[in-house]
């Protein structure tokens, strides 16, 4: 026992303080540790390419529309019915002066009806009253009207019995703006009846607005000018009709005087043909 105790003391003195197994283990003789299998790197998932969409084809824009009238279309029908009910020029003038549905009348000073002799062989339809016409209540009394008088006098026609004159519009547009389609349509209803009641031998349309409205065309005045056509009344009567430049245009473009003079000569020849 004393020998075993001495051996234990010797182990303790040499740092051996615990027993692990019955047999010693040679750590150098053990097989090397197996390496841990590497985790394969994640394979990146390649997404299928998104097909590119073709650029959108721009839609074809719709054709431009005519301006929408501010007034109700029913007012145009009312004007047409009122005009057709008039049997004389006096009734027609009274109906126009009493017609309050056209917006132009609200800003104008006067209703401009007509001037001259309604029994004259030539009826001239212009475009719209200007400042002088609105102030005096008569058509073609300003500078352009004075030129019209001189042009007609050159072929022997005066307002005393040679020609009768009116406009498409009976009220001056504020600031001389272009009238709306509804304003033109309402006045045109009265103008057509005006022509039917006068029944002239020759109808002269002075300016683009008058020519396009009465002839119901989109042709410009430069194409229409100087070409005889006809205006057909409701009863089928055909009136020789000549579009010509408005005298205001002649004042702005002196080069057009020659063409306007040709138109005056054409009117003179047509009157002689008609007797």
> Is 43 among the domain residues?
no
pLDDT of residue 176: 85
The list of the chain residues with pLDDT below 50 reads: 65-70
Total number of domains constituting the chain:
1
pLDDT of residue 275: 84
| pTM of the predicted protein model | 0.73
> Is 255 among the domain residues?
yes
Interior CA angle at 150 toward 143 and 219, to 5°? Answer: 75
Q: How far is CA 215 from CA 33, 131, 222, 224, in A?
A: 110, 27, 15, 10
Q: Which structural domain range is residue 196 located in?
A: 73-274
Strand intervals (E) in 183-234: 202-206, 229-232
Measured CA to CA, the distance from residue 185 to residue 73 in angstroms comes to 9
pLDDT of residue 193: 97
pLDDT of residue 167: 97
> Is 13 among the domain residues?
no
Of 126, 105, 72, which Cα lies nearest the Cα of 173?
A: 105
> Is 209 among the domain residues?
yes
* Rg of the chain taking only CA atoms, in angstroms: 50
Per-residue DSSP letter, 173: P
Alpha helices in 106-180 (DSSP H): 131-136, 143-153
CATH number at residue 214: 3.40.470.10
> Is 37 among the domain residues?
no
> Is 254 among the domain residues?
yes
> Is 177 among the domain residues?
yes
> Is 61 among the domain residues?
no
């Amino acid at each position: 026992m004393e020998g075993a105790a001495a051996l234990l003391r010797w182990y303790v003195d040499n740092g051996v303080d615990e027993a692990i197994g019955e047999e010693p283990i040679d750590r150098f003789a053990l097989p090397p540790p197996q390496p841990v299998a590497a985790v394969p790197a994640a394979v990146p998932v390649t997404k299928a390419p998104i097909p590119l969409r073709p650029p959108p084809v721009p839609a074809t824009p719709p054709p431009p529309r005519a301006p929408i009238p501010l007034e109700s279309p029913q007012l145009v029908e009312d004007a047409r019915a009122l005009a057709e009910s008039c049997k004389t020029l006096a009734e027609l003038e009274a109906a126009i002066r009493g017609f309050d549905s056209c917006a132009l009348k609200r800003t104008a000073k006067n209703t401009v009806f007509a001037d001259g002799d309604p029994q004259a062989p030539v009826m001239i339809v212009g475009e719209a009253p200007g400042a002088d016409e609105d102030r005096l209540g008569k058509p073609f009394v300003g500078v352009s009207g004075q030129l019209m008088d001189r042009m007609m006098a050159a072929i022997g026609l005066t307002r005393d019995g040679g020609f009768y004159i009116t406009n498409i519009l009976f009220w001056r547009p504020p600031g001389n703006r272009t009238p709306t389609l509804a304003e033109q349509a309402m006045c045109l209803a009265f103008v057509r009846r005006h022509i039917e009641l006068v029944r002239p031998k020759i109808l002269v349309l002075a300016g683009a607005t008058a020519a396009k409205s009465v002839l119901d065309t989109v042709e410009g005045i430069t194409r229409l000018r100087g070409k005889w056509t006809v205006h057909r009344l409701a009863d089928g009567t055909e009136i020789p009709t000549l579009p010509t430049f408005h005298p205001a245009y002649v004042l702005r473009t002196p080069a057009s005087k020659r063409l306007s003079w040709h138109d005056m000569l054409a009117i003179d020849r047509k009157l002689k043909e008609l007797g």
